[in-house]
Amino acid sequence: MANDEVILLDFWPSMFGMRLRIALAEKEIKYEYRDEDLRNKSPLLLQMNPIHKKIPVLIHNGKPICESIIGVEYIDEVWKDKAPFLPSDPYERAQARFWADYIDKKLFDSGRKLWTTKGEEQETAKKDFIECLKVLEEALGEKPYFGGDNFGFVDIALIGYYSWFYAYENYGNFSVEAECPKFAAWAKKCMLRDSVAKSLPDQHKVLEFVKTLRQKFGIE
């Protein structure tokens, strides 16, 4: 598939876009990265994702693949020559998809509320967020990665959030490492991979972005 045209429509702080950046890097796929202005969405984004009009969108030879988890699976299925993201066993594959779904349903909302709310609502969000991390930490167990010895699907689904941890901790007034040391160690292990380190933005840059959003929303 040497002549493939691959374009990623993304926005640099998006933990969902980071999934596709990591997946493409893991498979060593060359692609064109286009950072979108979400206040002024490009005609290409609106054309390629007319239903949700959201990033990220993976465009492969002119065909759009929307939704980040679906995009990661697509990359895994199309470029099979590199190590697979999903296990070969159907039950283990189902479990990996379960945890990716859990991350999308639980972690994003509680994380967002950490920096968009105050007082009691923020305290509830902090409790929910830490509880989510503890559940994930238990699922990780003593394994190096969620799938076992190899970096895979659930790791790709989750590690993008790590770039937001500094902002979450700053506004939620807690420490991920203190609350979930095994989870923090897993994140640091993932960051040693080039595919992850080069795909995630600096945590301080994300905090500055969040500060700007809080001012815009009138929270600060």
What are the pLDDT digits (tens) for 145-201? 999 999 999 999 999 999 999 999 999 999 999 999 999 999 999 999 999 999 999
Kindly report whether the global pTM for this prediction surpasses the value 0.85.
yes
Pairing outcome for strands 57-60 and 6-10: antiparallel
> In whole angstroms, what is the distance from residue 82 CA to residue 87 CA?
13
**Model confidence pLDDT, tens digit, residues 11-55:** 999 999 999 999 999 999 999 999 999 999 999 999 999 999 999
Per-residue pLDDT, averaged over 203-218, amounts to: 95
> Could you give the CA distance from residue 220 to residue 214 in angstroms, rounded to a whole number?
6
Contact (Cβ atoms closer than 8 angstroms) between residue 64 and residue 58: yes
Q: Which residues contact 135 (CB under 8 A, 6 or more apart)?
A: 102, 106
The phi and psi torsions of 91 (rounded to 5 degrees) equal -65, -45
Cβ-contact 14, 33 below 8 angstroms:
no
pLDDT of 220 higher than 90: no
